[in-house]
């Protein structure tokens, strides 16, 4: 009955380093979404993945950001050469069916701080 698991909960990186955020969806869920919440803002869509496929990455910055959801293992959001503006809470959600007529369940988030 484990929910969506994200790790780490908190991540501190220096400018120029890489950040790797992990997300294990709920059991049986094959649809994963990544959202970012900047301070004092709402949740902004980044990317939607199914197993081994990126379905929609329209919300993800074209450079430095990438995401994957391999056949085995968690989904990974990777940010290369982090900058201060990347500091935010990153949330992963999963759903049983494609987004559209189903609920998505969120993890606790990873709070990235770039110093």
In the complex, what is the shortest distance from the CB of residue 109 to other proteins, in angstroms, rounded to a whole number?
5
The C-alpha angle 65, 56, 41, rounded to 5 degrees, equals 65
Among 35, 82, 94, 112, binds other proteins (CB under 8 A): 35
Q: What is the C-alpha separation between 11 and 28, in angstroms, rounded?
A: 28
Among 91, 94, 112, 114, binds other proteins (CB under 8 A): 91
In the complex, what is the shortest distance from the CB of residue 104 to other proteins, in angstroms, rounded to a whole number?
6
Contact call for residue 65 and other proteins (CB under 8 A): no
DSSP sequence for 94-110: EESS-TTSS--EE---E
Q: Which residues contact other proteins (rule: CB under 8 A)?
A: 4, 6, 33, 35, 41-45, 48, 55-56, 59, 91, 93, 98-109, 111
């Amino acid at each position: 009955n484990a929910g969506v698991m994200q790790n780490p909960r908190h991540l501190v990186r220096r400018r120029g380093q890489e950040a790797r955020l992990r997300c294990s969806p709920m059991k049986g869920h094959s649809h994963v979404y990544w959202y970012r919440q900047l301070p004092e803002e709402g949740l902004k869509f980044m990317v939607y993945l199914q197993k081994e496929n990126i379905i929609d990455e329209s919300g993800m910055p074209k450079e430095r950001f990438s995401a994957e959801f391999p056949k085995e293992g968690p989904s990974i959001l990777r940010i290369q050469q982090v900058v201060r503006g990347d500091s935010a809470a990153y949330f992963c959600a999963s759903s049983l069916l494609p987004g559209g007529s189903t609920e998505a369940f969120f993890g606790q988030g990873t709070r990235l701080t770039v110093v």
